[in-house]
Amino acid sequence: MSDQPYILVIEDDVANRRGLVRALTRAGHKVEAFSRADPALDYLREHRDIVLVITDLMMPGTDGFGVLAAVKEIRPRTGLLMITGHATVKSAVDAMKQGADDYLTKPVNLDELRTRVSNLIQKVRDRDRREELEDRLYGKFVKLIGNSKAMQDLFRRMELVAGARSNVLIVGASGTGKELVANALHEHSPRHAGRFLPINCAAIPSEILESELFGHERGAFTGATARKIGKFELADGGTLFLDEIGELPLEMQVKLLRVLEQREFMRVGGTETVRVDIRLVAATNQNLEAMVEERRFRNDLYYRIKVVTLAIPPLCEREGDVRQLAHHFLDLFVKENNRESMSFAPEVMAALISAPWAGNVRELRNLVESLVVMVPDDEIHLADLPEEYRSARSPAPGAKKDPEDGQTLTMEEIERRAILNALEKTGGNRTQAAELLGIGLRTLQRKIKDYRMAGKAEGH
């Protein structure tokens, strides 16, 4: 957008239109005015730098409501100010409920007009910057799924950190996606042309960890039949990701600190100094501060690696992300397993949303993959879930109380009772019961088997 705000005015009254244009031009705005809506909307389609549309409500042809709908379709981020007579103020309020930003009544007070327009332009520009940032963040970190406030806050911090040279410490529970975050930082950093090399400090025996990190020379120890280049050397010019850094033995912590301070090391058994330019990203699910107090982690190394700290929220704190993640994984594994399209029954999604997810995103991913492989039908139902997900620890959304004993019913029990009720109404006819329940006959037959209700139904 240009520094001089560009405003589109739509007003069928000649005197009012001229007054608006004169007042806005004197306030420093660029103004284009029309007497009818249709040519004004054509103009809007061709000019992307219009910040605000000011339109009369009552006009021949397309009225203010039509303009509002069209602006939201053509240029959703453009602001809209409605002008109306006193007799139609209620309509202007209705327009604001539909997306208009503000309204003024006739006769328009020009000082008030200038004030309202100035405030609206600032509002539109703030909104535009915010939405552009969110679009950019989503485009950047598309592998990290989440529209929750917690994840959007993480994305903003990641954008600030990605281009820096500083070491980064990523903290979060197991399964939250620490390596994905580290990889995203690398991909959107000046080092993206270099390598991203991950190494899990907990998965490598301590006796060979030094060789893995720094490499070794031929004959350095029994079995060293050739020179080996270590991860630090391989990551030169790129990013080295040390996962589970809290598992590093103390003697290795000393050597890591020296490399981070001097940017050089020797291979095991070597005599030549190797200089490297790497960015270190470390991750842990442990409390490193407590480990420092217990002298299990070096204080100087701790402060060297936590120049910047990124905390990944657990899935239970990411309100609204479970549904998005579950559908993403469902689409992913349906394609991988050459399945037809699959979906979650409403009661399944309710159970997933209410689950505690101690294993975080990894647990959800593994569950969905298992369901895609094991469920034969196109729709996943509550009975398909493992028992721990069906037996909610707290009432799931939609759970009801039994009017007879006041007990909270799980979604599984609600579904079971609905099937029994349908079978009773149809005299045990499964075909008619399935139609009554709005599900397929095969699905009903499987549920009868799962719920051990075969004796309640005839073999129709």
> Tokens 């490399």, residue?
259
Reading the block at residue 380, the tokens are 């996943």
Q: Do both 55 and 201 map to the same domain? A: no
Per-residue pLDDT for the chain (460 aa), expressed as one digit of tens each?
446 779 999 999 999 999 999 999 999 999 999 999 999 999 998 888 899 999 999 899 999 999 998 998 888 889 999 998 866 677 777 777 778 888 888 889 999 999 999 999 988 887 776 665 555 544 455 567 787 888 888 988 998 899 898 999 999 998 898 998 999 899 889 998 899 999 999 888 888 888 989 998 888 888 888 888 889 999 999 999 999 999 999 999 999 999 999 999 999 988 889 999 999 999 999 999 999 999 999 999 999 999 999 999 999 888 778 988 998 899 889 988 988 889 998 888 888 988 888 889 999 999 999 999 999 999 999 999 988 888 643 443 444 444 444 444 455 566 677 788 778 777 787 877 776 665 666 677 777 776 666 555 544 4
Q: Do both 290 and 156 map to the same domain? A: yes
CATH number at residue 107: 3.40.50.2300
Nearest to 165 by CA among 137, 197, 190: 190
Residue 182: which domain range? 149-311
Per-residue DSSP letter, 236: T
Q: Is residue 141 domain-resident?
A: no
Report the b/e string of 32-59 with b at 16+ CB within 10 A: ebbbebeebbeebeeeeebbbbbbbbeb
CA 228 to CA 235: how far, in whole Å?
A: 14
How far is CA 175 from its chain centroid? 16
Residue 18 confidence (pLDDT): 93
Q: Is residue 256 domain-resident?
A: yes
CA within 13 Å, CB half, 115: 6
Q: Do both 85 and 168 map to the same domain? A: no
Residue 394 confidence (pLDDT): 41
Strands 30-34 and 6-10 turn out to be: parallel
Q: Do both 125 and 215 map to the same domain? A: no
Between CA 132 and CA 141, with CA 135 as vertex, the angle to 5 degrees is 135
Q: Do both 446 and 337 map to the same domain? A: yes
Residue 207: helix, strand or coil by DSSP?
A: helix
- Amino acid letter at 249? P
Q: Do both 286 and 164 map to the same domain? A: yes
Q: Is residue 288 domain-resident?
A: yes
Domain stops at, among 106, 133, 160 = 133
CA 372 to CA 378: how far, in whole Å?
A: 9
What is the phi-psi region of residue 145: left when phi exceeds 0, alpha when psi lies from -120 to 50, beta otherwise?
beta
Which runs of consecutive H residues, i.e. helices, occur in 188-234? 206-214, 231-234
CA 241 to CA 281: how far, in whole Å?
A: 5
Reading the block at residue 227, the tokens are 């020179």
Residue 94 confidence (pLDDT): 78
Domain stops at, among 311, 338, 362 = 311
Residue 123 confidence (pLDDT): 86
| Backbone CA torsion sign across 137, 138, 144, 150 | positive
Length of the chain equals 460
CA 227 to CA 230: how far, in whole Å?
A: 10
The strand ranges marked E within 172-277 are 196-200, 239-243, 264-266, 273-275
Domain stops at, among 98, 133, 168 = 133
Q: Do both 36 and 123 map to the same domain? A: yes
pTM of the entire predicted model: 0.56
CATH number at residue 385: 1.10.8.60
Residue 116 to residues 50, 105, 112: CA-CA distances in angstroms? 17, 12, 6
Q: Are 169 and 241 in contact (CB under 8 A)?
A: no
Q: Do both 304 and 279 map to the same domain? A: yes
Q: How many domains does the chain have?
A: 3
Nearest to 233 by CA among 201, 276, 280, 192: 276
Q: Do both 183 and 302 map to the same domain? A: yes
CA dihedral angle for residue 135, residue 136, residue 137, residue 140, rounded to 10 degrees:
120
